[in-house]
Structure 1
Amino acid sequence: MRASTFQTLIIGLLCLAVAGLSGGLYNQYQRVAELQSTNTQHLQTLDTLQHDSSALKDAQEKLQYALKDLKQMVDTGEQQVKTLDPMLDQWAQEIQELRDGLAARATQADLTALRPRLEQVEQQLLEHKTQPSPPPLTPSATKPKKTARPKPTPLSPPFSVLSVESRGGERFLAIAPHDSRSLTDVRLLHSGEHLGTWHLKVLEPNSAIFAVAAQPDQTVHLP
């Protein structure tokens, strides 16, 4: 075999070997790239899982705190109920005692109020039994004696009568409080009007007739 042919063969084999190595390297590079991409995806998924795990952990801690507060509230409510139950029982007992006491006091007060009246009635019965029977009345004694009725004492009005004034053809009685020296205190009364319990019924030429509650009519002379 010639030397040139042998060299050509060696070069061809070397080319084939380089081509094979290049293809293998390329395939290895693609595999490495795919592995890196897959690793990146896995890292992203891991980060997401870690983030979700942290959020879940925070939520779990908040829930534990809420459960702790709720338990504390329940314990406080139970303690309050335990404290209030004896107080309610005591209050109910005190209310019942007050009712019984009021009923007893009312009965005792009634008896105390009735005792003097009973004693008075008994005393009147005893006096009635011990009094001698009155002698029979004679005809002269049976005649009732006529007694003169006392005249009612006229009342003094709670005001001073000043004069009679005419306004628009109507007569008015000018009055003022006692010891008053101000014109602003002067008041004009027309028939039918009143000052306190004194009601002006009729205004006559020389007097004024007043109706007073629970009293006979009062005549006040005009100045």
Structure 2
Amino acid sequence: MKASTFQTLIIGLLCLAVAGLSGGLYNQYQRMAKLQSTDTQYRQTLDTLQHDSSALKDAQEKLQYALKDLKQMVDTSEQQANTLDPMLDQWAQEIQELRDGLAARATVAELTALRAHLEQVEQQFQEHKTQPSPPPPSPSATKPKKTARPKPVPLSPPFSVLGVESRGGERFLAVAPHDSRSLIDVRLLHSGEQLGAWYLKVLEPNSAIFAVAAQPDQTVHLP
């Protein structure tokens, strides 16, 4: 074999070896690149999972705090309810006692006003009965005698006087209709106010003075 042919054969073998090595290196490079890409994807997936896990952990902690606050609110509400229930019962009892007291006072006031009116009528009847009858006028009398003007009959108010209420240092007259038994119908009159045709002029310690249209001032005694 000639030397040139042997050299050509050696060079060909080297080229084949280099080509084989190049192909193997290329395949290894592709596998490495694929592994790196897969590793990058795995790292991204791992980062996403870690981020989601952190967010889930934060949400869990917030939920725990919210549950703790809700429990404290429930406990506080139960304590307030336990405190308010006896107070509400006591207020309801006091309101009922006040209603019963006002109803009793209204009944007593009506009886007192009726008794006073009957006494006034009886007194006027007795005065009229005991007055001597005047003698018949003589024919020679030239001047007519002056007739005595009758005393005005006190009027009965169209309402019942329950008493006096003090509000902020001011005195008010508590009145209600005669046939009323409800607190809703009770009205507080201040000096200068009126109910119907009755105008409250002065509220004295033991009586109230009203002005009535076309009538003299009426004095109503307090119960």
Q: TM-score, normalised by structure 1?
A: 0.47
Larger radius of gyration: 1
Choose between structure 1 and 2 for higher RCO, CA contacts under 8 A separated by at least 6 residues.
2
TM-score by length of 2: 0.47
